[in-house]
């Protein structure tokens, strides 16, 4: 399925008719990304911090991780990139770049918004909190860290169930329904001293026993972010800098979009360069070892990137905020065609950044899967020579 609509979209849905009729622009309606023109999306996905508040994720002062060139693949991505409005393609095998192409006017130094690819970063920060002891166990109840949730649907729900979206708490992520939770979530008023994410989620009832059913919920990943902030005592952008961005040899600072309460959205919207997204994929491929030190428990990625919950899609599943395949491939995905695909068997990372004409769609996903297959075939053909 891999839908992953980000919280950035949801404010517009409650007034979808008027917004759509007015053809919003990023400057007049930053939350109206579903209704921006394709040209506006292509223009603004590279500078989201110019139209909505963001926090800086510092890369620190460490050396940039080199990504040396490898033997180029015998594959021309130009037709795919043009047809699918692709801004960047990066293919890395064994730490070497086999393909790096740019479109839509961006370059190696241009950041691009990730949408729900951010979920996989938030998950990794949970692993870092486990290693540091800020979080004691994935079996801890979420109410231990967020006591404001006590007495509601999250009673008895564990951090593991939150990570795998199997809490059993009712959540409607129907993007076409203005009465859905995802549509109303970011209209939660800001009350001094309260986290609007926790306030909204605390009112949700239980629909199923915890751990028995998977239900995709961007609100749940935002709640993971709130739990991290409560456990660590620092903002998510600072945690991402401390644990990953300053250790992974990133080439540039990233930025992270803020919600109506001024906090980073755990489920959405870190913006970074194509190569730095490639370094995120390498971090996962290499088991979270950065600068010679593992930032997560030794077995974290053994658990995080394998099926922990059945999504109903044959051959696929959901791990700790990573989409999984039964063949061992896993990935981070976001709307409008953002993807990090990791293939451990081939030691291969593929990143695609896009501005699809629609947020989601079978045709676009099929074209991307076919493109991935062409890349894998080219890699395998070269290995066989």
* Contact criterion met (CB below 8 Å) for 130 and 300: yes
Lowest mean pLDDT segment, chosen from 47-61, 189-203, 285-299 = 189-203
**How would you write the chain as a 3-class SS string?**
CCCCCCHHHHHHHHHHHHHHHHCCCCCCCCCCHHHCCHHHHHHHCCCHHHCCCEEEECCCCCCCCCCCECCCCCCCCHHHHHHCCEEEEEEEECCEEEEEEECCCCCCCCEEECHHHHHHHHHHHHHHHHHHCCCCCCCCEHHHCCHHHCCCCCCCCEHHHHHCCCCCECCCCCCCCCCCHHHHHHHCCCCCCCCHHHHHHCCCCECCCCCCCCCCCHHHHHHHHHHHHHHHCCCHHHHHHHHHHCCCCCCCCEEEEECCCCCECCCCCEEEEHHHHHHHHHHHHCCCEECCEECCCCCHHHHHCCCCECCCCCCEEECCCCEEECCCCEEEEECCCEEEEEEHHHCEEEEEEECCCCCCCHHHHHHHHHHHHHHHHHHHHHHHC
Q: What is the pLDDT of residue 15?
A: 33
Task: Give me the chain's average pLDDT, please.
Answer: 92
- Fold topology of 7-384: Beta-lactamase (3.40.710)
Beta bridge partners of 111: 273
Rounded to an integer, what distance in angstroms lies between the CA atom of residue 81 and that of residue 313? 27
Which has the closest alpha carbon to 91: 83, 101, 81? 101
Is 80 exceeded by the pLDDT of residue 107?
yes
What predicted TM-score, i.e. pTM, was given to this entire model? 0.94
Is 90 exceeded by the pLDDT of residue 340?
yes
What mean pLDDT comes out for the span 71-95?
98
Q: What is the pLDDT of residue 16?
A: 37
Q: How confident is the model at residue 2 (pLDDT cuts 50, 70, 90)?
A: low
Q: What is the pLDDT of residue 33?
A: 81
User: What confidence tens digit (pLDDT) does each residue in 30-43 have?
Assistant: 877 878 899 999 99
Is 80 exceeded by the pLDDT of residue 176?
no
Rounded to an integer, what distance in angstroms lies between the CA atom of residue 258 and that of residue 350? 28
Q: How confident is the model at residue 359 (pLDDT cuts 50, 70, 90)?
A: confident
Q: How confident is the model at residue 63 (pLDDT cuts 50, 70, 90)?
A: very high
Q: What is the pLDDT of residue 8?
A: 45
Rounded to an integer, what distance in angstroms lies between the CA atom of residue 276 and that of residue 302? 23
């Amino acid at each position: 399925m891999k839908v992953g609509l980000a919280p950035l979209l949801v404010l517009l849905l409650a007034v979808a008719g008027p917004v759509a009729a007015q053809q919003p622009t990023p400057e007049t309606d930053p939350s109206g990304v579903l209704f921006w023109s394709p040209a506006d999306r292509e223009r603004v996905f590279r500078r989201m911090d110019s139209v909505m508040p963001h926090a800086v994720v510092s890369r620190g002062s460490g050396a940039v991780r080199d990504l040396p060139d490898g033997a180029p693949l015998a594959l021309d991505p130009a037709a795919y990139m043009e047809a699918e409005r692709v801004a960047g393609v990066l293919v890395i095998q064994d730490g070497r770049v086999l393909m790096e192409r740019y479109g839509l006017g961006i370059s190696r130094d241009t950041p691009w918004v990730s949408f729900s690819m951010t979920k996989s970063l938030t998950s990794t920060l949970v692993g870092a909190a486990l290693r540091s002891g800020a979080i004691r166990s994935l079996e801890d109840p979420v109410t231990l860290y967020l006591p404001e949730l006590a007495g509601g649907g999250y009673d008895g729900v564990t951090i593991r169930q939150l990570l795998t979206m199997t809490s059993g708490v009712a959540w409607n992520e129907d993007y076409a329904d203005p009465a859905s939770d995802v549509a109303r979530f970011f209209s939660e008023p800001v009350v001094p001293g309260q986290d609007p994410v926790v306030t909204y989620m605390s009112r949700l009832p239980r629909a199923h026993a915890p751990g028995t059913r998977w239900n995709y919920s961007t609100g749940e990943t935002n709640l993971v972010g709130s739990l991290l902030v409560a456990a660590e005592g620092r903002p998510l952008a600072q945690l991402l800098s401390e644990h990953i961005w300053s250790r992974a040899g990133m080439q540039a600072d990233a930025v992270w979009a803020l919600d109506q309460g001024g906090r980073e959205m755990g489920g959405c919207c870190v913006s970074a360069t194509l190569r730095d997204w490639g370094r995120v994929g390498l971090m996962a491929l290499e088991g979270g070892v950065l600068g010679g030190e593992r930032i997560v428990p030794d077995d974290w990625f053994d658990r995080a990137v394998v099926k922990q919950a059945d999504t109903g899609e044959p051959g696929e599943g959901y791990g700790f905020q990573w989409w999984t395949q039964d063949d061992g491939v896993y990935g981070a995905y976001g709307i409008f065609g953002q993807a990090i695909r990791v293939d451990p068997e081939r030691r291969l990372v593929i990143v695609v950044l896009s501005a699809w004409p629609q947020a989601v769609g079978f045709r676009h996903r099929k074209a991307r899967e076919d493109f991935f297959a062409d890349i894998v075939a080219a890699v395998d053909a070269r290995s066989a020579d």
